[in-house]
Amino acid sequence: MASGYIGILSFELHFPESRSLKDKRMHLRSVKAQLAKRIGCSIAEVDHHDTWQRSRLTLACATREAREAERLLDEVERWLCGQPFEHFGARREMVVLDD
């Protein structure tokens, strides 16, 4: 029997209105805070640190049931679709923690 599940979602963001790294980081702080508050995930920028308009984020959420992890990742993707910036290249993975 599994003792937990970790849902992982990695995706790219494009901020076309960003004109500097400061602008991009302002947007990223907001995205990360809203997602952490909304679903209780851990989230980090993992690529494109020095690019003004682009970022790759990876988030993880730990749950007791696989369907709950899937539901949380679905919620993240729905939220991203409703934002003014572009997102693409989403990749999901589920890690099963065995006893």
User: In this predicted structure, what is the pLDDT of residue 66?
Assistant: 95
Task: Give Cβ neighbours of residue 62 (< 8 Å, ≥ 6 apart).
Answer: 4, 5, 6, 69
Gap between the Cα atoms of 34 and 41, Å rounded: 10
User: In this predicted structure, what is the pLDDT of residue 98?
Assistant: 83
pLDDT score of 99 more than 70: no
pTM of the model: 0.90
pLDDT digits over 10-46, tens only? 999 999 999 999 999 999 999 999 999 999 999 999 9
- For 43, the domain range is 2-98
pLDDT score of 55 more than 70: yes
Q: How many domains does the chain have?
A: 1
Helix (H) or strand (E) holding 70: helix 66-81
CATH number of the structural domain spanning residue 34: 3.30.70.1120
Q: Check residue 71 and give left, alpha or beta (phi > 0: left; psi -120 to 50: alpha).
A: alpha
User: In this predicted structure, what is the pLDDT of residue 1?
Assistant: 66
